[in-house]
Amino acid sequence: MLDFSRLSLDFLKFEGADRLDLVNRLSTNKVDSIEKFKFQKTILTSDKGRFVDLLTLYNFGDFVFAACSEGNSANVMAYLDKYTIMDDFRTTDMAGTHETLLFIGDDAAKFAEEVFALDLSSLSESEFRVISGDSIDAIVSLNDDRFGGFHFIYSSNHSGYWNDRLFNGSLMTKYKMNELTGNEYEKKRIELGIPAFGKEMTELTNPLECGLNKYVSFTKGCYIGQEVIARLDAYDKISKHLVGILSDEDIPQGDKIGEVKIITGGKECGFVTSSLRSNGGSIGLGFVKTIFLDHNKEYGIKWNDNIRNCRITKLPFDMRN
């Protein structure tokens, strides 16, 4: 079985002698020494330590190809431009120019071996390969979140070529390939506890609250928002945590971030960020303030004047609870 999903991302191209140095000085991770054909994720944050975006930087040697969240490339460009003063740094907005596929499942490695002659086990977590076909190049890299599998990124101009190569009848049958619907992908994302931009990753949250510590360096020095994030880590002052939510009733999402509250003992203690109907009930993600966090407590969801029962769970979901 091989599942795949068409991901929606924007892309940018960074050029100039200071292309990595500038991003290193502005973002959470140490990215100034990424080797050629390696990639690294890093987070742009505001001066309050809140999300601007999560970037994936693919170093091609003479330029950096960067992935960011869908619909956010212009905002990322504006943020970088704000802090570009004397730097040799140029950004090109490449939103809409490339497409991304995520392949997951037990047969992902076999599929990569057959289609690309690529042994996924030979790739380090931070390495990507350029795959060529009739002078048409694409990128393959391991996916480092709980979905696992690998990413395949290719030019939208060559989508016909790659669709024919990846999804011909014999491969679809051999690997029992299944394209995840939007709801199926969202269900897996919620169950795995993977934060999404605009839902969990917002101006109300920071990387540590979302469990994205692996993309934060605590030794590299200053960046925008560094003082806030370093203080939260050093003094164990993370005020809220990302949790899973389970309910036998619908979990509303509301019209704006933070509108649907989580309550316990009659007190507001958090808010819902994602939700989806599942198996006769609902599942979701949200944030609960640290002082109220107890997986054995009874919780409720408050929306307007309505209150619905729910329980919270650690991530990824343990659906037995």
Residues 26 and 224 sit within 8 Å (Cβ to Cβ)? yes
The DSSP secondary-structure symbol of 180 reads P
Spatial separation of the C-alpha atoms in residues 275 and 186, rounded to whole Å: 9
The DSSP secondary-structure symbol of 61 reads S
Residues 28-60 have pLDDT tens digits of 999 999 999 999 999 999 999 999 999 999 999
Spatial separation of the C-alpha atoms in residues 82 and 57, rounded to whole Å: 20
CA 205 to mean position of chain CA atoms: 14
Residue 16 sits at φ, ψ, to 5 deg, of 105, 155
Residues 90-131 have pLDDT tens digits of 999 999 999 999 999 999 999 999 999 999 999 999 999 999
CATH of domain 2-93: 3.30.70.1400
Q: What percent of the chain has pLDDT over 90?
A: 90
**Region for residue 27 given its phi and psi (left: phi exceeds 0; alpha: psi -120 to 50; beta: otherwise):** beta
Residues 298-310 have pLDDT tens digits of 999 999 889 999 9
Answer yes or no: is pLDDT of 153 > 90.
yes
Give the homologous superfamily in CATH for domain 98-174: Probable tRNA modification gtpase trme; domain 1 (3.30.1360.120)
Bridge partners of 91, per DSSP, are 14
Does 98-174 match 190-205+239-313 in CATH topology? no
Instruction: Give domain limits for the chain.
Output: 2-93, 98-174, 190-205+239-313
Answer yes or no: is pLDDT of 313 > 60.
yes
CATH of domain 190-205+239-313: 2.40.30.110
